[in-house]
Chains A and B, each alone.
Chain A
Amino acid sequence: MSGSEILSTLLGSEVRGDLLVLFHRNPGLIDTVDGVARRIGRTTVAVISEVRELLVVGVLMQKRIGASEVVFLDRAKDRELLEAVANHLKTVRISGEN
């Protein structure tokens, strides 16, 4: 997956952006999708497919604790993906005419 594709996935929706901010601000957070949705002021329905996208790209991981499925940040993968995004952005020229 290229840096550009990673970027498109990470910023694919406002909810996904909110999820990234939540987990980056709280890198040790482990919670259910319901709990995560509440934390960002959204409904579970609005969040579930966005969480799935972040699971697919690998930023988030899922595991079972007791009767609950919980999600959490994969810090190493997150670092790796954001590094790829940063390297991609280094190649983009933004100077020029207004």
Chain B
Amino acid sequence: MHMSLRVRESSLTNPRGNVESVPGGLSSDQRFDAEKAFSSVLVSTVREAVGNALGRNVLEVLTSNGLLDDANNSKEFDRKLELLFGNGAGVLERMVVKDLNRRLGIRYDSEASFDYEKSLETARQVCFLEGRLN
């Protein structure tokens, strides 16, 4: 709990922070593994969120459109999602973050203001920290 809070604070002060902003740092191998693990969790979360909300057919269309190729690149993912879903993109992003936070044990508040990029960065930091602690 305390650790998560520290990570969240670190992410807020450095919203564009990357792996280097994780306290204590990681070796390049650990960094690679953590990045890979986060990417895998994120893509499976996006698949689950879209599939559960809009069904398998829609998910297949999105996969063939290459949406999931950029799930780890929040700006690009955001851009594609908006092109496809218009105003609904924000709802899908919230659903992805809610699911991701649940998986990583991060509190999600649907009443709070929402920033997809910052939320992903927070999740990434927590994922990296957990990887370091394991």
Interface residues of A (CB under 8 A from B): 4, 7-8, 10-14, 16-18, 20-21, 24-25, 78-79, 82-83, 85-86, 89-90, 92-95, 98
CB < 8 Å neighbour of B76 from A7, A92, A98: A98
Among B66, B85, B87, B94, max chain A CB count under 10 A is at B85
B16 within 8 A of A: no
B105 within 8 A of A: no
B47 to chain A, nearest CB (A): 13
Contact B84 A94 (CB under 8 A): yes
Q: What residues on B are CB-neighbors of A92 within 8 Å?
A: 65, 83-84
A9 to chain B, nearest CB (A): 9
Task: Pick the 8 closest A-B CB pairs, nearest first.
Answer: A11-B88, A86-B57, A82-B55, A21-B52, A11-B91, A94-B80, A89-B61, A17-B91
Interface contacts (Cβ under 8 Å), in number, total: 77
B62 within 8 A of A: yes
Contact B61 A20 (CB under 8 A): no
CA distance A66 to B96 in the complex (A): 38
B5 within 8 A of A: no
CA distance A2 to B110 in the complex (A): 29
Contact B52 A11 (CB under 8 A): no
Contact B84 A13 (CB under 8 A): no
Given the known interface contacts A82-B58, A85-B54, A94-B66, the answer about A21 and B95 at a Cβ–Cβ threshold of 8 Å is: yes
Contact B52 A94 (CB under 8 A): no
List 23 A–B pairs whose Cβ atoms lie within 8 Å, in order of A's numbering: A4-B86, A10-B53, A10-B88, A11-B91, A11-B92, A17-B94, A20-B52, A20-B54, A21-B49, A24-B52, A25-B52, A78-B55, A82-B57, A83-B57, A85-B58, A86-B55, A86-B57, A86-B58, A89-B58, A89-B61, A89-B62, A89-B84, A95-B66
